[in-house]
Structure 1
Amino acid sequence: MLWSRSLAISCICLFLFSSHTFAFYLPGVAPHDYERGDDVKLYVNSLTPLMGSHQLKSLIPYDYYYKPFHFCSPEQPQSQSESLGSILFGDRIFDSLYKLNMAENKTCQYLCSATVPSEDAAFINARIKENYAINWLIDGLPAASRKKDLRTNTEFNSIGFELGDSVASFNNPPLHNHYDIEIQYHKQESANKYRVVGVIVSPTSNKYDSEEHARTCVTTSERLILNEKSDNTVHYTYKVVWTPSNIAWATRWDNYLYTFDPRIHWFSLVNSIVIVLFLTGMVAMILLRALHKDISRYNQLEAQEDVQEDFGWKLVHGDIFRTPANIMLLSVFLGNGSQLFCMTTVTLLFAVLGFLSPSNRGSLATVMLIFYMLFAFVAGYVSARVYKMFGGDAWKKNVFLTAFLFPTIEHPVRTNQIPRQIPDQVFYLRPIPSILMGGVLPFGAIFIELYFIMNSIWGSKVYYLFGFAALVFIILTITCSEVTILLCYFHLCAEDYHWSWRAFLTSGASGFYIFVYSIMYFMTKLQINSLTSAALLVTSHALHLSERFL
């Protein structure tokens, strides 16, 4: 009775004091409260190409204050502190001349005038035709342009806004030199504070006859087109409108993280699960039936008095753990692959739990690099143990330092001194055909989600569906394991004991198909004429191919 009374009192106390509890935001970005009239900083970021009409024309980002653009710049632009991941992803954030005050509208603001020489005009026109976008940041939110999904008629915010009008019917495209900035804010009624919850920029091309007209935003009926044969004068202006919004600060990223037809992701997931279930059933059926049949046969032979010769996979038991060729290289590959696997697993776990928010710029790449360094001991340990397991002599050359010395795998049988002759193999069990066959199913389980990831990487978009990515990664791991087990068993049944390299290459063969898929993506989705962009893309996918093999 006393215990029940104490429990009731505790519950009442928790209820009474619940309104005074505090919480924290996992990604580590706290809301910034403003009062009316407070300065709101506008930061500029690198210009990046957008994927227009489902095609990307360049991959190279440019600093906002890159001289040929002739944007309005402070005398000494101050670079903002960035994370390592943000820098690696191309962010170059600086302050700007734009003046914003919380909840105070500004109808016409003159920024500056710039003289653009003919050669720089050609450079700017080329970037407009390549669909480059300007990127701003206000209170940590990227400036976006309002777009509409034609399938569902749903409006969403697309990060960045066009440098110029790339679809205009002119020989040279118009340059946007006036920006209508709409900033959405949410008012905290209890504290009379304001929070930024949305930034929409609508750029236009206005031709001003003089600086006086630009200061009053008196435009002509013409659009601003840069002449590539003479110098040009460009006047930059902007307008600021503050709009109250019911969007809470915690959900302000929802309009930026728009998913085009989410049914495709579910179809990809169901497709991957079906492949895994099919492969699991096939592996289980083949192995259970074959092993049960072989073991029953061997038990019958042991009961007979006559000595019978072994056959099938039992013939190679004395050669199964023979040291493979290039064991040093194989052990190093396995060690690095283990390191990458641990890094990917833990990174996806953090992403699924919500620690890697898009509001914390570059957090994904930073976390990946940190975990890659932290799991270096895994690479050293696995590499050293595999090398020693196969009887390597120069183990000191294999790894600089093995961090842990845990018990490892011990061979259950001895290796014959004389290698057994391997009979001729059927075509589909030869090295190259079997390895290529082994990569088909893992690739089939991930290629749909891979398309969206490539769009996010090369299209300067935010990828946030880490739940799908984690499930696809798990499915990929299971599929690779089952395919490798199945093909290794077939090789052993064919009396081929060279399983070590094939086991490694079979699971990594999906990387070859990913590379081929990347080339097809390059040919069908990109219109890149720049040699630098093409080299950047091919090199990046070649590195991904090597990482996938590991």
Structure 2
Amino acid sequence: MANADAVGAPDFTIGWSIKSYSDGETIPLFVNKVYSDNTQLQYAYAELPFVCPPSGRKQGTGVISGTNVALNLGEVLRGDRIVVSDYELEMGKDEETRYLCSHKVDRAGLRKAQEIVKDGYVAEWIVDNLPGATSFVTVDKSRKYYAAGFKMGYEDFSPTTGRPRFFINNHVTLVIRYHAAPGKDGQRGKKVIVGFEVYAKSIEAGNRDASGIPASIHDVRNGMELTLKKNVTAAAVAEKFAGSSYIPEEIEDVDDDATLTIPYTYSVYFREEEKVEWGNRWDLYFVNNEDSSKIHWLAIVNSLIISGLLTAVVAVIFARTIHGDIKGYKEVGMEEGKLKLKRSKGVRSPRKSAEKGGLLDQADGDVEPDISSDEESLEDITGWKLVHGDVFRAPSHGGILAPLVGSGMQLVLMAIGLVLLSCFGILNPSFRGGFISVGVALFLVAGLFSGYFSARIYKTFGGQLWQKNCIVTATLFPGLLFTTIFILNLFVWAQASSTALPFGTLVGLVALWLLVQLPLVYVGSWYGFVKVGAWQHPIKATAIPRQIPQQSWYTKSIQSILLAGLIPFAVIFIELLFVFKSLWQDKSGYYYVFGFLAVVGLVLVASVMEVTVIAVYIQLCAENYHWWWQSFFVGAGSALWVFLYCVYYYFNHLHIQGFVSSLLFFSYSFLACTVYGLLTGTIGFLTAYAFVRRIYGAIKAD
């Protein structure tokens, strides 16, 4: 999955190892990709037709410029294409102006450059695993913060014609901020890099010396405009526009073989930063986000309030309604699926209290000598107790529900692992691509539990072909994921974007799917089906299904799913704003507040469980025993609201342009909501099953 001609770069890829430099030691600069908030298409910087191509010369570190850096799976999936550049940096050595190259651009390359500038693309360069950043200060000018990346150019408008003009940033000033290395390296005068700032500007191609150095790098009045011009005389212009009051300032060349030469230069400055150490060098990328901590706390308080109200409702259901019903019918037993009242001979038939709905105590001496039976069926029992003979009846299409729950359990375990590793700091921004790579690994390992739960539920539903269920479980969600990614890749490939996955990566993903996940799911399925077996229900289902009465509007499937899903969505709504902003708007930013996310996630899980209990209880009280699928959909109901919010976010907060970018946005949103729905739906299903077993098992026990 890494590039074929990649070179190893352990200090770069690991991310948490300290690299110290001596004065004069070469520091490699890597170029990665360009990206924009206005589109989902990314491009490899080294492959752009208007930048200096790598020369292939050997640098002081022993690597050759143009060599691809070995990437992990996460980096490839996020569109990284990291290449060693020709920029030469030596620790402690300032370079006021240095010439890089002059690159000729044809018409096709010029159009691509104009498109990149027009769409607001930002370039990502890397030094010592730090992304090159544009420096800003807070509103009160008390703190400095970084925004990763720098603009590729800017757009202006002609004062005479009003037409847009595009300028390329062909000069960069690189500021490397360093701090004394810790320990013995620092005593020997070595330094560590704690900041990498890039300041880009556009300088015209003319007024340069023989070596390509501009007369002044501070004169930006005339930038490097992306246009093809032809030198013509004033007489030729007057002749061409004879009789017209408009005389253009410039004439575009119409020759197909015309080119534009873009000179590239750069400056390098090293500055000591005493206040920033290597351990907290990433803090500057998050300073601007610290002001949002109050909003994160608001999200937690909002979640806790909603969850607290739900907890109170569930407590009432358990403590008063269900407990009261069970206590009132504590003399009721279960025999072969029929609810009956046990009575001693010579005791008067019980009467149902109109006030309490329970059984009246029997008066002394009140006997009926003509009773000929020890048991009498209760004909006036109502509510959830009436469906005791059908509540554990296997659902229709259980062969699909079991793999869905198994896949959901796989995602639950993956999500728990990712959040925990992120909270402990193992997954951090310096571990580039680590979140995705570790997520894939956790997903594969969790295939054991996916097969186990799917097989047990499948056998509980009465299934016998566990091998078939195993294959469905192992291919249902991964198959949907791979098929969607493959189809999207066809569109992205056509755009020559680095977002497209290489063919080798696709083959590698298929190999992981078939050679790793499928065997793990098989082992889990075998153990769950053969060794452990089905869950035993406290009550056996009757032979003839009970007729379900007419349902109220709020107990019908669609209405209950939408209403129940709205509550968990309200729990995560505020935190969802930050997640969306990090994913879709600040592609250069990093979502790092996993502590807040973990708390909100716990409250979300509790809310899904409580909402499912309430919804299933209401459904059973309405004498509707089809709760299996309903509990899964109720738990996953908030995924519908999240997707609707994605649509709202697209039209009101994003500026995505083009069909392919829009297709990528909605496809990724659909996949993310599918993952979320499977996860929460599984939680809802397992919670509902535990709840139903508890209440009907309590009746049988009494």
| CA drift at 1:290 | 1.3
- Assess if the C-alpha contact under 8 Å between 1:113 and 1:211 holds in 2: no
Distance 2:313 2:462 in 1: 35
Q: Secondary structure at the match of 1:197?
A: strand
| CA drift at 1:104 | 0.6
2:609 to 468, 475, 481: 481
Aligned counterpart, 1:464: 592
- Assess if the C-alpha contact under 8 Å between 1:64 and 1:71 holds in 2: no
Query: Is residue 57 of structure 1 aligned with residue 38 of structure 2?
Result: yes
Q: Secondary structure at the match of 2:136?
A: strand
Distance 2:262 2:565 in 1: 55
- Assess if the C-alpha contact under 8 Å between 2:156 and 2:165 holds in 1: no
Query: Is residue 533 of structure 1 aligned with residue 530 of structure 2?
Result: no
TM-score (normalizing by structure 1): 0.90
- Assess if the C-alpha contact under 8 Å between 2:50 and 2:103 holds in 1: no
**Matching of residues 32-431 of structure 1 within 5 Å:** 32-49=19-36, 56-75=37-56, 77-150=66-139, 154-166=143-155, 171-188=164-181, 189-209=186-206, 212=209, 215-219=212-216, 221-227=221-227, 229-230=252-253, 231-246=259-274, 247-258=276-287, 259=289, 260-299=291-330, 302=341, 305-306=349-350, 307=376, 308-309=378-379, 310-400=381-471, 401-403=522-524, 404=527, 405-406=531-532, 409-431=535-557
Distance 1:83 1:478 in 2: 35
**Matching of residues 491-510 of structure 1 within 5 Å:** 491-510=619-638
| CA drift at 1:407 | 6.2
> One-letter code of the match for 1:432?
I
Q: Secondary structure at the match of 1:527?
A: coil
> One-letter code of the match for 1:498?
H
- Assess if the C-alpha contact under 8 Å between 1:69 and 1:120 holds in 2: yes
Range that drifts further, 346-355 or 298-307: 298-307
| Residues 427 and 549 (structure 1), Cα distance of their counterparts in 2 relative to 1, 3 Å cut | same
| Residues 28 and 121 (structure 1), Cα distance of their counterparts in 2 relative to 1, 3 Å cut | closer
| Residues 151 and 273 (structure 1), Cα distance of their counterparts in 2 relative to 1, 3 Å cut | farther
Aligned counterpart, 1:17: none
Distance 2:140 2:387 in 1: 60
Aligned counterpart, 2:699: none
Distance 1:200 1:447 in 2: 35
- Assess if the C-alpha contact under 8 Å between 2:208 and 2:214 holds in 1: no
Distance 2:213 2:523 in 1: 71
| CA drift at 1:243 | 0.1
- Assess if the C-alpha contact under 8 Å between 1:208 and 1:214 holds in 2: no
Range that drifts further, 75-84 or 385-394: 75-84
| CA drift at 1:512 | 0.8
Distance 1:167 1:338 in 2: 53
Range that drifts further, 405-414 or 161-170: 161-170
- Assess if the C-alpha contact under 8 Å between 2:178 and 2:272 holds in 1: yes
| CA drift at 1:118 | 2.8
Higher-Rg member (1/2) = 2
Residues 324-362 of structure 1: per-residue CA shift (max 9 Å, x gap):
111010001000000000010011111111111211100
> One-letter code of the match for 2:226?
L
- Assess if the C-alpha contact under 8 Å between 1:157 and 1:256 holds in 2: yes
| CA drift at 1:71 | 3.2
| Residues 491 and 64 (structure 1), Cα distance of their counterparts in 2 relative to 1, 3 Å cut | same
Distance 2:654 2:673 in 1: 20
> One-letter code of the match for 1:127?
I
| CA drift at 1:82 | 1.2
| CA drift at 1:299 | 3.9
| CA drift at 1:225 | 1.2
- Assess if the C-alpha contact under 8 Å between 1:134 and 1:163 holds in 2: yes
Residues 390-432 of structure 1: per-residue CA shift (max 9 Å, x gap):
1123333111524234465310001011110000000000010
Q: Secondary structure at the match of 2:179?
A: strand
> One-letter code of the match for 2:644?
V
Q: Secondary structure at the match of 1:322?
A: coil
Query: Is residue 452 of structure 1 aligned with residue 433 of structure 2?
Result: no
Range that drifts further, 457-466 or 338-347: 457-466
| CA drift at 1:300 | 7.6
- Assess if the C-alpha contact under 8 Å between 1:384 and 1:402 holds in 2: no
- Cα RMSD (Å): 2.0
Range that drifts further, 98-107 or 386-395: 386-395
Q: Where does the alignment leave 5 or more consecutive residues of structure 1 unmatched?
A: 1-26, 50-55
Q: Secondary structure at the match of 1:516?
A: helix
Distance 1:42 1:164 in 2: 20
| CA drift at 1:540 | 0.5
Distance 1:426 1:311 in 2: 16
Range that drifts further, 81-90 or 392-401: 392-401
| CA drift at 1:547 | 1.2
| CA drift at 1:156 | 0.5
| CA drift at 1:506 | 0.5
| CA drift at 1:111 | 0.3
Q: Where does the alignment leave 5 or more consecutive residues of structure 2 unmatched?
A: 1-13, 57-64, 229-251, 254-258, 333-340, 351-375, 472-521, 679-702
| Residues 437 and 62 (structure 1), Cα distance of their counterparts in 2 relative to 1, 3 Å cut | same
Distance 2:418 2:135 in 1: 32
Residues 173-198 of structure 1: per-residue CA shift (max 9 Å, x gap):
32111101100011234221111110
Distance 2:107 2:306 in 1: 58
TM-score (normalizing by structure 2): 0.71
Distance 1:517 1:332 in 2: 28
Residues 128-161 of structure 1: per-residue CA shift (max 9 Å, x gap):
1211101100011110001234377642110000
Aligned counterpart, 2:9: none
Q: Secondary structure at the match of 2:313?
A: helix
- Assess if the C-alpha contact under 8 Å between 1:214 and 1:237 holds in 2: no
Distance 1:337 1:432 in 2: 21
1:517 to 637, 645, 665: 645
- Assess if the C-alpha contact under 8 Å between 1:181 and 1:199 holds in 2: yes
Residues 27-80 of structure 1: per-residue CA shift (max 9 Å, x gap):
76211111100000000001111xxxxxx3111110112243333422471100
| Residues 343 and 167 (structure 1), Cα distance of their counterparts in 2 relative to 1, 3 Å cut | farther
Q: Secondary structure at the match of 1:399?
A: helix
Range that drifts further, 521-530 or 297-306: 297-306
| Residues 67 and 133 (structure 1), Cα distance of their counterparts in 2 relative to 1, 3 Å cut | closer
Q: Which runs of 4+ in 1 moved over 6 A?
A: 167-170
